[in-house]
């Protein structure tokens, strides 16, 4: 039996990310006790039935009592108010972390509420699916994925290292990163791809010459992957774009420039430029495969589901 990294873990928010944390904790005894809270009574009831928390609480304050680790697993726009609510009830020596995909805004809104003797160590697991809710989580979500750790100034090294050990036990790799750089990186590898997916599916939906039946019936693999990404939690992604404005707008500007260059190449029949561009981008895909962050199996290794 493994030794827990934290004796008591409180999960505030009980969706895909928190559920997967809980299942991974149970897989390797990473936590002695897991307590959970969600604002929705339906989510709390569903979690009780699924059983991935030892105790499901009816308030955030109850959930954080005597917790050694508190995980903020709610949309980034809700983290500041939640931190303010639980702050007076955090025990000295507790570590507070989050799983949000934006860091500068989260730090600005959460850190002021963290009491003396409690340490805030922001984090961002780079893993997920398009599914949400308590029944979406699974133990292997973080296996060989990356969790970015973004320590705030003055945080003791021991507390940062302990959180890294926690994520390692959940199956993840970790890397430390500064907040603004994190937000720029995530704008490139996550936020803009999601925005493009939402846009492409929205364009298809708006085309009066293409019926909804045809869009669904004749969807090729590329469009199907757009729809998978665009099916992600709308509340979470609304908050991501509202709280990571600067990096998102900067990357959108660069994307627009690239798009105009490709548009010009297509208009002028510049096949050489198109081929060179596609060759360069193809190498990125090979790098992702070599890093073990995806599979080259047909249909991205997804299991076939009978209709």
Nearest-angstrom CA–CA distance, 104 and 11: 22
**Percent of the chain having pLDDT more than 70?**
90
Q: Are strands 119-120 and 6-12 parallel, antiparallel or unpaired?
A: unpaired
Nearest-angstrom CA–CA distance, 74 and 62: 17
Residue spans per domain, the chain: 6-177, 181-295
Nearest-angstrom CA–CA distance, 279 and 91: 55
241 and 195 in contact (C-beta within 8 Å)? yes
DSSP 15: S
Phi-psi domain of 66 (left: phi exceeds 0; alpha: psi -120 through 50; beta: other): left
Q: Which fold has domain 6-177?
A: Rossmann fold (3.40.50)
Using alpha carbons, select from 26, 10, 27 the residue that is nearest to residue 64. 10
Question: What is the pLDDT, as a whole number, of residue 197?
Answer: 82
pLDDT tier at 304, thresholds 50, 70, 90: very low
pLDDT score of 209 more than 80: no
- Lowest mean per-residue pLDDT among 31-40, 156-165, 220-229: 220-229
Tell me the mean pLDDT in the region 177-191.
Answer: 90
Write down the CATH number for the domain with range 181-295: 1.10.3660.10
3-state secondary structure 17-86: HHHHHHHHHHHHCCEEEEEEECCCHHHHHHHHHHCCCCEECCCHHHHHCCCCEEEECCCHHHHHHHHHHH
Per-residue pLDDT tens digits for 94-141: 999 999 999 999 999 999 999 999 999 999 999 888 788 999 999 999
Question: Which residues 6+ apart lie within 8 Å of 51 measured at CB?
Answer: none
96 and 110 in contact (C-beta within 8 Å)? yes
Q: What is the CA radius of gyration of the chain?
A: 21
pLDDT score of 26 more than 60: yes
pLDDT score of 71 more than 80: yes
Entry pTM: 0.80
DSSP E strands in 119-195: the ranges are 119-120, 123-126, 146-149, 173-176
Per-residue pLDDT tens digits for 219-256: 666 777 777 777 777 888 888 888 888 888 888 888 88
> What is the torsional sign of CA 49, 54, 58, 63?
negative
**Average pLDDT score, the chain:** 88
């Amino acid at each position: 039996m493994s030794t827990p990294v934290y004796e008591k873990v409180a999960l505030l928010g009980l969706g895909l990310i928190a559920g997967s944390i809980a299942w991974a904790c149970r897989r390797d005894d990473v936590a002695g006790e897991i307590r959970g809270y969600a604002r929705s009574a339906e989510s709390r009831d569903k979690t009780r039935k699924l059983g991935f928390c030892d105790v499901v609480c009816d308030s955030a304050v109850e959930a954080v009592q005597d917790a050694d680790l508190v995980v903020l697993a709610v949309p980034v726009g809700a983290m500041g108010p939640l931190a303010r609510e639980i702050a007076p009830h955090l025990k000295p020596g507790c570590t507070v972390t989050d799983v949000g995909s934006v860091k500068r805004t989260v730090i600005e809104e959460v850190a002021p509420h963290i009491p003396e003797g409690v340490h805030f160590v922001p984090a961002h697991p780079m893993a997920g699916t398009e599914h949400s809710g308590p029944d979406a989580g699974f133990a292997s979500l973080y296996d060989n994925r990356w969790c970015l750790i973004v320590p705030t100034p003055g945080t003791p090294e021991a507390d940062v290292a302990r959180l890294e050990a926690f994520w390692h036990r959940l199956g993840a790799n970790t890397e430390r990163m500064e907040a603004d750089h994190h937000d720029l990186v995530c704008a490139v590898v996550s936020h803009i791809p999601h925005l493009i997916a939402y846009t492409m599916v929205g364009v298809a939906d708006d085309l009066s010459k293409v019926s909804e039946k045809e869009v669904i019936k004749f969807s090729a693999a590329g469009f199907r992957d757009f729809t998978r990404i665009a099916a992600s939690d709308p509340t979470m992604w609304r908050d991501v774009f509202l709280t990571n404005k600067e990096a998102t707008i900067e990357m959108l500007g660069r994307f627009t420039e690239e798009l105009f260059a490709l548009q010009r190449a297509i208009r002028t029949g510049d096949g050489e430029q198109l081929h060179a561009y596609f060759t360069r981008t193809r190498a990125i895909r090979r790098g992702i495969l070599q890093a073990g962050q995806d599979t080259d199996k047909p249909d991205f290794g997804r299991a076939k589901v009978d209709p």
